[in-house]
């Protein structure tokens, strides 16, 4: 599978003046609705950054909770206060029960074909993890291949990635524990379901690509970190290895390394015919890649750099490998095309001569697959999926008609296949799975989720808001049909705005639950995302990050001006970079919102690059080590911009103790400072999940519990009356 396809699922000196043991009672109980927040120690830590003294009184909360009894005690105390508050909300249990009921439906992943068999993932309803099934044909009864629910009693061990050998003998699969980004890979003999002895460890941010004969595969891994540093390891010096099936990891052959470039990461991909090894090199989160390649038939493994030849040797532009036909390679690129186009190059010719196959369009080219001798091009047209087919010479062929305005995904396969599979859903249309037949040009419905919802009961519309600088910002708004625009409706506004990630109109059980409760849901497509190509993305990065927040404020004000809600009944929500968005929003415009749900957020913008994957994010955020970037980061960093004596909206921060993507110290420090500065009577709480990470691999039971608590928190703040769920 190409790098282009896989990357979808895919970011001073400190002066210690003195460590004091000053404890403070952050907020008097009588001013905070009788909530007795835990005492939080302050330490006199000040960073001297670019000529400025920047205090960091809660620096000690950055320590891994598993390494500090003091931090663990703070976590326990905060959770005690939070859960005592949540438990007194009368609607909490009915919401959890109804959410569990809604969640209990069969969920199907998009099928794919590998080694002559069909595979798909399925969840019977409330299983903690999806189960991987196999079948020899679509007409046969599926059999369980891998059931990760058997790996742990609490469901916190997940299946995280699979790679099937071309000959159908083996599957290499990743095991993820407690939501960590680290993966341990095992190899299964598919015929008898037996596991081979070897285990491959210290793997993250990579794929696995088999040799066609099934003898082994190429992959990347990091050096083994110190045991105590594994959770916050900076992930430097990734290397490419070849693993031969049946041998221990210690015997793996080093293929490529760059000790002179410790921040580089590598993704290896064997072409479908097995002739070439494509090495895609990345440094951060930007889609700018170096591309090297090697002819595996050349026999020059002993040559410098394993005999790799350099096709693209800068990070300036995107060159995402799609597929190869003999010596012709196909790439998605942003070269001379901010909305991307498809190009090719014949590497057998002495000169590098690029040929345009599919030109740049008015819509954004999201991904390309080469299946059945045709390019399947997925476009974003005004934040909706559109799928077009082209012959290999670029001649337009057909369009895969979608069932409305929503989001399609899938479309994988091999050049020799005559079919592909995809999913489709919209804001109010449950997911459906389709098989597309290239011979007939028709799509066949295979599965449709059976969910207790009548789409005609709801309205989903796309609107446009005008941001501070006049930019038109799209937003989807969903609500029950026939509501009066009298400003009375509790409204939940969701956003992200970063890393060229597009928020698409997809179906969500959580959203359905909020609509049942009588709420209005809005999803903002902010600058920083990928909805309108590279210029839209760049306009929300580094020194222009304030555009993202201004876009968000414009969406909030539109909802108020149009009569959907009022500031007192407007909640905002975001995860990860979206957690940063929510944190910045309530520090800049606390009066505009009634409640906030920042989840696993990047909230300290001056130290994010010092932990785990944070160093990758300087592409979007800029570097705190750069004087100009520092000024912009300090201006909006949520942790640093909380002001004493401010009335902040009701806030429920959520994070997890083993999140090694955005370390929980971000949320810990923000919560401590928010409680210390807050002058209002609205609750400001933090909910800290255990044995969970950034989100991937989280068991269904934990997702339902956390979601129910967030919804109950909003219902309580907005004094919402529960409907009768039995009607």
Are 712 and 97 a contacting pair, CB within 8 Å? no
Q: What is the pLDDT of residues 195-231, one digit of tens each?
A: 999 999 999 999 999 999 999 999 999 999 876 666 6
Burial of 641 (0-12, 13-18, 19+ CB in 10 A): middle
In the sheet that 209-210 helps form, which strands lie side by side, from edge to edge?
A: 209-210, 216-221, 239-244, 253-256
Tens of pLDDT, residues 388-403: 999 999 999 999 999 9
Mapped onto helix, strand or coil, the DSSP state of residue 487 is: coil
Q: Mapping DSSP to helix (H, G, I), strand (E, B) and coil, where does residue 350 land?
A: coil
Q: For residues 581 and 692, which has the higher predicted lDDT (pLDDT)?
A: 581
Distance of CA 692 to the CA centre of its chain: 15
456 by Cβ neighbours in 10 Å (0-12 / 13-18 / 19+) ranks as exposed
pTM here?
0.94
HSE-CB at 582 with a 13 A cutoff on CA atoms is 32
Residue 11 has pLDDT above 80, yes or no: no
643-692: pLDDT as tens digits: 999 999 999 999 999 899 999 999 999 999 999 999 999 999 999 998 88
Could you tell me the residue ranges of all domains in the chain?
A: 14-100+453-717, 366-450
> Can you give the pLDDT at residue 574?
98
Strand order in the sheet with 40-49: 14-24, 40-49, 52-55
d(CA 3, CA 290): 12
CATH fold of 14-100+453-717, please? Rossmann fold (3.40.50)
Identify whether the C-beta of residue 556 lies closer than 8 Å to the C-beta of residue 520: no
Share of the chain above pLDDT 90, in %: 87
Can you tell me the mean pLDDT for 451-465? Answer: 91
Residue 308: phi, psi to the nearest 5? -70, 140
pLDDT band at 16 (very low <50, low <70, confident <90, very high): very low
Kindly state the average pLDDT of the residues 248-261. 96
Under DSSP, is residue 52 helix (H, G, I), strand (E, B) or coil?
A: strand
pLDDT tier at 615 (50, 70, 90 boundaries)?
Answer: very high
User: Which two structure tokens, joined as six digits, stand for 688?
Assistant: 């800290």
- Give me 162's structure tokens: 């699979």
Do 517 and 96 touch, CB atoms closer than 8 A?
no
Number of alpha helices (DSSP H) and beta strands (DSSP E) in the chain: 11, 41
Structure token pair of residue 667: 């949320």
Does residue 4 carry a pLDDT above 80?
no
Question: Sign of the CA dihedral 637, 575, 338, 539?
Answer: negative
- Mean pLDDT is lowest, of 24-28, 146-150, 318-322, 453-457, for 24-28
pLDDT score of 386: 98
> Can you give the pLDDT at residue 691?
85
Closest by CA to 378, choosing from 397, 399, 393, is 399
- Check pLDDT > 90 for residue 559: yes
Residue 694 designated active-site: yes
- pLDDT given for residue 230 in this prediction: 62
Higher pLDDT pick, 424 / 723? 424
From the candidates 576, 609, 640, 666, give the one annotated as an active-site residue: 576
Average pLDDT along the chain = 93
Dmax of the chain from CA atoms?
A: 78
Residues 410-444: pLDDT tens digits?
A: 999 999 999 999 999 999 999 999 999 999 999 99
Q: Mind listing the pLDDT tens digit for each residue in 67-104?
A: 899 999 999 999 999 999 999 999 999 999 999 999 99
Helix/strand/coil for 449:
coil
576 classed as catalytic: yes
Measured in residues, the chain has a length of 727
CA distance 235 to 182: 10
**Residue 257 in contact with residue 220, Cβ under 8 Å?**
no
Share of the chain above pLDDT 70, in %: 93
Q: What is the pLDDT at residue 302?
A: 64
Euclidean distance between CA atoms 254 and 289, whole angstroms: 22
Q: For residue 110, what pLDDT is reported?
A: 97
């Amino acid at each position: 599978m190409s790098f282009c396809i896989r990357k979808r699922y895919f970011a001073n000196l400190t002066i210690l003046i003195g460590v004091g043991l000053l404890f403070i009672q952050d907020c008097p109980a009588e001013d905070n609705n009788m909530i007795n927040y835990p005492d939080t120690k302050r330490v006199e830590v000040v960073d001297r950054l670019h000529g400025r003294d920047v205090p960091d009184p809660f620096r000690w909360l950055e320590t891994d909770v598993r390494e500090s009894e003091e931090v663990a005690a703070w976590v326990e105390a905060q959770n005690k206060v939070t859960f005592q508050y949540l438990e007194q909300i009368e609607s909490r249990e009915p919401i959890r029960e109804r959410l569990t009921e809604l969640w209990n439906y069969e969920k199907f992943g998009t099928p794919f074909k590998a080694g002559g068999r069909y595979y798909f993932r399925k969840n019977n309803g409330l299983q903690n993890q999806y189960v991987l099934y196999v079948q020899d044909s679509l007409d046969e009864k599926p059999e369980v291949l891998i059931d990760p629910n058997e790996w742990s009693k609490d469901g916190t061990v997940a299946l995280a990635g699979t790679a099937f050998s071309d000959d159908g003998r083996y599957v290499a699969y990743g095991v993820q524990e407690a939501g960590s980004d680290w993966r341990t890979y095992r190899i299964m003999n598919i015929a008898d379901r037996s596991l081979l002895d070897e285990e491959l460890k210290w793997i993250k941010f990579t794929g696995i690509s088999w040799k066609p004969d099934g003898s082994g595969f190429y992959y990347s891994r990091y050096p083994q970190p110190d045991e105590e540093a594994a959770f916050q390891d900076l992930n430097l010096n990734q290397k490419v290895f070849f693993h031969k099936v049946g041998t221990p990891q210690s015997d793996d052959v080093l293929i490529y390394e760059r000790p002179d470039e410790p921040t580089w990461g590598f993704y290896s991909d064997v072409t479908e015919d097995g002739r070439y090894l494509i090495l895609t090199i990345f440094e951060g989160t930007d889609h700018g890649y170096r591309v090297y390649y090697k002819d595996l038939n050349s026999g020059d493994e002993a040559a410098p750099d394993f005999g790799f030849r350099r096709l693209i040797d800068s990070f300036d532009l995107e060159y995402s490998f799609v597929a190869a036909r003999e010596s012709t390679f196909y790439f998605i690129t942003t070269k001379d095309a901010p909305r991307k186009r498809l190009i090719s190059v014949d590497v057998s010719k002495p000169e590098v001569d690029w040929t345009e196959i599919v030109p740049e369009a008015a819509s954004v080219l999201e991904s390309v697959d080469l299946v059945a001798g045709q390019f399947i091009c997925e476009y974003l047209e005004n934040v909706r999926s559109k799928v077009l087919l082209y012959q290999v010479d670029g001649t337009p062929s057909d369009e895969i008609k979608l069932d409305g305005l929503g989001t399609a995904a899938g479309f994988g396969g091999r050049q020799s296949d005559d079919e592909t599979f995809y999913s489709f859903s919209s804001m109010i249309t449950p997911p459906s799975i389709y098989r597309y037949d290239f011979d007939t040009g028709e799509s066949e419905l295979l599965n449709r989720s059976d969910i207790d919802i009548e789409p005609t009961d709801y309205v989903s519309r796309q609107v446009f808001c005008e941001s501070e600088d006049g930019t038109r910002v799209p937003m989807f708004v969903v609500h029950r049909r026939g509501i009066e625009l009298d400003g009375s409706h509790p409204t939940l506004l969701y956003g992200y705005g970063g890393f060229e990630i597009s928020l698409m109109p997809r179906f969500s059980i959580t959203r359905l639950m909020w609509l049942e409760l009588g709420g209005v849901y809005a999803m903002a497509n902010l600058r920083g995302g990928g909805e309108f190509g590279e210029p839209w993305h760049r306009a929300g990065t580094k020194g222009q990050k304030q555009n993202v927040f201004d876009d968000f404020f414009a969406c909030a004000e539109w909802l108020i001006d149009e009569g959907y809600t009022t500031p007192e009944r407007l909640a905002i929500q975001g995860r990860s970079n979206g957690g940063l968005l929510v944190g910045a929003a309530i520090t800049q415009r606390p009066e505009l919102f009634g409640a906030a749900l920042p989840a696993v957020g990047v909230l300290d913008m001056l130290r994010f690059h010092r932990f785990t994957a944070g160093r990758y994010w300087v592409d979007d955020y800029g570097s705190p080590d750069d004087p100009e970037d520092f000024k912009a980061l300090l201006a909006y960093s949520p942790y640093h911009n909380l002001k004493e004596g401010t009335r902040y909206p009701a806030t429920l921060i959520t994070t997890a103790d083993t999140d090694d993507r955005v370390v929980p110290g971000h949320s810990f420090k923000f919560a401590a400072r928010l409680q210390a500065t807050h002058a209002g009577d609205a609750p400001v709480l933090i909910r800290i999940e255990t044995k969970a990470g950034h989100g991937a691999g989280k068991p269904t039971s934990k997702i339902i519990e956390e979601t129910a608590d967030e919804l109950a928190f909003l219902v309580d703040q907005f004094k919402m009356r529960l409907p009768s769920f039995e009607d």
